[in-house]
Structure 1
Amino acid sequence: MLTTGVTLSYLIAAADLPLMDSLLARFDHSLGFDWEHFLEITNSEPRASGLLAWAYRTTGWVTQLAVVWAGVASNGERLAELLALLGLCTVGLCACMFLFPAAGAFSYFDPASQLFSNYGTRDQMWTFGHTFNMLRDGALSVIELSSLDGIVSFPSFHTILGILGIYAARDVRWLLAFILPINVIMIVATMPVGGHHLADVLAGGGLSLGAIMFVRSQKERPAPSPVFLQCSL
């Protein structure tokens, strides 16, 4: 499912559609959010930048923890719910990427190196940029399924995974106490570490919450009454 979504994102990026980063940056500005200033502030405190960078790297194994727990709880019902949510969000993510293609805030603002010196080198920031640019200029024409990169900027897939992980652990106190703070910090980290606009994060949050409400509404619908066909002999 996720491999299919990532492959589709590659094809969308290869379409070389006009980028919408200027629109997303203006939206952030209308909310009073200055991405470069936020990057500078978080970078100025080494402990804060270290925590954000660490939390961003936890996304994979924290998500795997949520999936494993869902698989062993509720006789698989929670796992089916989580997979349905991931499927819906993946479809929505690709649709949003097609409508609002973006390279991300790091590419758009191209910040000076001193603004992210405590996060890493330029090569370590916006790590999917090389693949993204090669797809757009046609230099990359073969998709290697064994080495796919996440190249979606709008909406933020890390934000989606963070919210779905919290939702999956919602009624298990010990698991929620572990996942909630890590994923909240990780979602914040998507902006300075992942190079996302605030708009990317808000869109990822809206998409995941919308998927949750839709799946819950389907679960709460009454089951249809069985129809018995009577045949007279």
Structure 2
Amino acid sequence: MTAPIPPADRRDIPSWMLIAAMFLSFLAAQYHRVFAVDPVRAVPAVASLIVLGAAGAIGRRTARPRLAAGATAFLQMTLFTLLGVVLAYALAARSGVLWDDRLAAADRAIGFDWPVVLHLLDKMPVAIWVLGLAYHSLTVQMIVVIVALSGLSRFDTLRTTVCAAILSGFVTILISGLTPAMGNLFDPDRYHNLWPSVAWLERGLITGLRDGSHHVLDLTMLMGIVSFPSFHATLAAIFIWA
């Protein structure tokens, strides 16, 4: 006899409340420097939200809890991603003095020397690929986690995982607004194997946000700009738990 599938239609109130708080935080953060949204570029994001919302509704109406749980989780994470990035943009646009020197001093105080680490890694191309793929595949990892947990009917674990990801991301973004930083910048041309860091690739974007020249949001090209604290490290811990 097939074991009953636990219901997946319990309200995810904590996650929805966090998403609402992020939206309100964005409105407050961009009060004095309003961002515009490119309407054409917003179509794919809006369409994906509609599709995910419809999938969740269909799952609930047809008593398919796995579909309902998976679609709801994807909807929440998509909203979190959109709101999280634009909130980080808004906070960067109104942030004060960069903390890079203070963060670098803190690294040195605990004996962490970035130039030495970079030089060592440059001699280990296999390690670079492993670490790089782990870093840049977090979106894929989240997709796999949601599909696996919803497919296995582990709805409580899925709900907790999504809520933890949203909460940790929200807190990380808020802290980054208080400790703005360009990130660990290094010129990749000085190394043989190191990939360009995200901070290096996004330095123009962060500068544009800070000086006001970047004020139109392209929802198809949103980039994570938070350097400190590390949301990637937080997500890795959450995935290990899940």
TM-score, reference length from structure 1 = 0.64
- Do structure 1's residue 140 and structure 2's residue 214 form an aligned pair? yes
Counterpart among 151, 163, 172 of residue 93 in structure 1: 172
Counterpart among 31, 34, 42 of residue 113 in structure 2: 34
Amino acid at match of 1:59: L
Q: Which residue of 2 aligns with 1:102?
A: 181
Q: Which residue of 1 aligns with 2:189?
A: 113
1:99 to partner: Cα distance = 1.4
1:16 to partner: Cα distance = 3.9
Q: Which residue of 1 aligns with 2:76?
A: none
1:86 to partner: Cα distance = 1.5
CA distance in 2, matches of 1:117, 1:124: 17
Counterpart among 126, 130, 149 of residue 70 in structure 1: 149
Counterpart among 75, 79, 83 of residue 158 in structure 2: 79
Aligned in 2, Cα 1:40/1:14: closer, same or farther, shift over 3 Å? same
1:142 to partner: Cα distance = 1.1
1:112 to partner: Cα distance = 6.8
CA distance in 2, matches of 1:48, 1:86: 27
Aligned in 2, Cα 1:10/1:23: closer, same or farther, shift over 3 Å? same
Amino acid at match of 1:94: I
Deviation beyond 6 Å, 4+ runs, structure 1 = none
- Do structure 1's residue 17 and structure 2's residue 96 form an aligned pair? yes
- Higher alpha-carbon deviation: 33-42 or 45-54: 45-54
Q: Quick check: 1:9–1:94 contact (8 Å CA) kept in 2? A: yes
Q: Quick check: 1:50–1:119 contact (8 Å CA) kept in 2? A: no
Q: Quick check: 1:132–1:151 contact (8 Å CA) kept in 2? A: yes
Question: What's the C-alpha RMSD, in Å, of the aligned pairs?
Answer: 2.1
Q: Which residue of 2 aligns with 1:211?
A: none
Identity of aligned pairs, percent?
31
Amino acid at match of 1:152: V
Structure 1: runs of 5 or more not aligned? 169-233
The count of aligned residue pairs is 163
Q: Quick check: 2:92–2:209 contact (8 Å CA) kept in 1? A: yes
Counterpart among 230, 237, 240 of residue 156 in structure 1: 230
Aligned in 2, Cα 1:123/1:166: closer, same or farther, shift over 3 Å? closer
TM-score, reference length from structure 2 = 0.61
1:111 to partner: Cα distance = 4.6
Structure 2: runs of 5 or more not aligned? 1-79
Following superposition of structure 1 onto structure 2, how do residues 125-204 of structure 1 map, counting pairs within 5 Å? 126-168=200-242
Per-residue CA shift, 1:163-205, capped at 9, x if unaligned? 111111xxxxxxxxxxxxxxxxxxxxxxxxxxxxxxxxxxxxx
CA distance in 2, matches of 1:78, 1:112: 40
